[in-house]
């Protein structure tokens, strides 16, 4: 289980190789990569700037991972979140999980990215030709997070 | 009562401050009281630190406006989060 916050890009293939290495029980590996979109609110995004709260952000991410491992039997988890200035199509975030079976790997990965969106302290500023603005937590992200509190969902996977 | 204040996101940029040590009066012993006290610093502060526009953490845990503040706490004031 590991969390990394960095300015540098990451290499998906090598991250996944490391994540699965040394454990022949791993039967499923799921990864989610978030990218900088070049459109938001109908304006062209030139770049985004991301900042975080050193100390608290790592703690919050580790807490999310612990919660995921309590709900599903995950063998390993890797979260990498980039900060600083990023451009369209850049990778922002990686969430990768390994498990015995795909159900747990899928659910754990989705849970972690959904929680990260609403519970990990990151701040994102979009730079467009019109100027810049700090983004607020999106209502759709809050809905996705809340859906994990639903009892039927809680018992699934 | 001395506390550490850290700022992130929109208020950090607009108020041009990322960290300070503040000596706060007794009435600022909750997050709501602290924000009200900081808003007295001027129009820009009043606007940026409106209760509806900021979120807070105490010692690196999210906390609501009624939460009490203690000596030497690290209080973070920030705009709503948006990661991923």
Asked whether residue B64 is assigned to any structural domain, the reply reads yes
A34 contacts B81? CB cut-off 8 A: no
User: Which residue of chain B is at minimal alpha-carbon distance from A137?
Assistant: B82
Alpha-carbon separation of residue A72 from A1, A63, A151, A155, B22 (angstroms) = 14, 14, 15, 10, 44
Asked whether residue B35 is assigned to any structural domain, the reply reads yes
Asked whether residue B49 is assigned to any structural domain, the reply reads yes
Please say if the pLDDT value at position A156 is more than 60.
no
Say which of B6, B82, B84 has its CB closest to residue A113: B84
pLDDT digits (tens, 9 = 90+) for B29-83: 999 999 999 999 999 999 999 999 999 999 999 999 999 999 999 999 999 998 8
A34 contacts B84? CB cut-off 8 A: yes
Would you state the structure tokens that stand for residue A12, as one six-digit string?
């998906």
Domains of chain A: 2-155 (3.90.1170.40)
Nearest chain A Cα distance for residue B25, angstroms: 26
- Host domain of residue B61: 2-78
Q: Rounded to two decimals, what is the model's pTM? A: 0.90
Asked whether residue B48 is assigned to any structural domain, the reply reads yes
- State how many domains chain B has: 1
pLDDT digits (tens, 9 = 90+) for A8-60: 999 999 999 999 998 889 999 999 999 998 755 666 778 999 999 999 999 99
DSSP class of B65: T
A74-82 vs A2-6, strand pairing mode? parallel
* Residue A80 burial (CB count, 10 A): 22
A122-128 vs A131-134, strand pairing mode? antiparallel
Q: What is the CATH number of the domain that holds B69?
A: 3.10.20.30
**With contact defined as beta carbons under 8 Å apart, do A81 and A124 qualify?**
no
Cβ pairs bridging A and B (under 8 Å): 72
Say which residues have a Cβ less than 8 Å from residue A149's Cβ, sequence separation at least 6: none
B80 contacts A56? CB cut-off 8 A: no
Per CB-CB distance under 8 Å, the chain A contacts of B73 are none
Within an 8 Å CB–CB cutoff, is residue B19 touching chain A?
A: no
B74: enclosing H helix or E strand: strand B74-78
Asked whether residue B73 is assigned to any structural domain, the reply reads yes
């Amino acid at each position: 289980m590991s969390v990394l916050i960095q300015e540098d890009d990451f290499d998906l293939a090598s991250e996944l190789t490391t994540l699965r290495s040394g454990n022949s029980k791993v039967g499923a590996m799921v990864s989610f990569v978030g990218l900088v979109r070049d459109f938001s609110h109908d304006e062209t995004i030139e770049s985004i700037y991301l900042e975080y709260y050193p100390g608290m952000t790592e703690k919050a991410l580790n807490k999310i991972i612990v919660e995921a491992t309590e709900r599903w039997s995950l063998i390993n988890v890797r979260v990498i979140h980039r900060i600083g200035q990023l451009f369209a199509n850049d990778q922002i975030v990686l969430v990768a999980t390994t498990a015995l079976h795909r159900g747990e790997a899928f659910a754990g990965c989705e849970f972690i990215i959904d929680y990260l969106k609403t519970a990990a302290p990151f701040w994102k500023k979009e730079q467009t030709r019109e100027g810049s603005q700090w983004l607020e937590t999106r209502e759709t992200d809050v809905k996705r997070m809340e859906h994990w509190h639903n009892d039927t969902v809680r018992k699934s996977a | 009562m001395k506390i550490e204040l850290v700022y992130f996101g929109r208020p950090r940029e607009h108020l041009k401050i990322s960290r300070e040590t503040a000596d706060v009066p007794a009435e600022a012993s909750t997050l709501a009281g602290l924000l009200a006290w900081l808003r007295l610093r001027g129009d820009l502060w009043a606007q940026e630190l409106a209760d509806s526009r900021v979120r807070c953490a105490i010692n690196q845990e999210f906390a609501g406006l009624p939460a009490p503040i203690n000596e030497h706490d690290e209080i973070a004031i920030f705009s709503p989060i948006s990661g991923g």
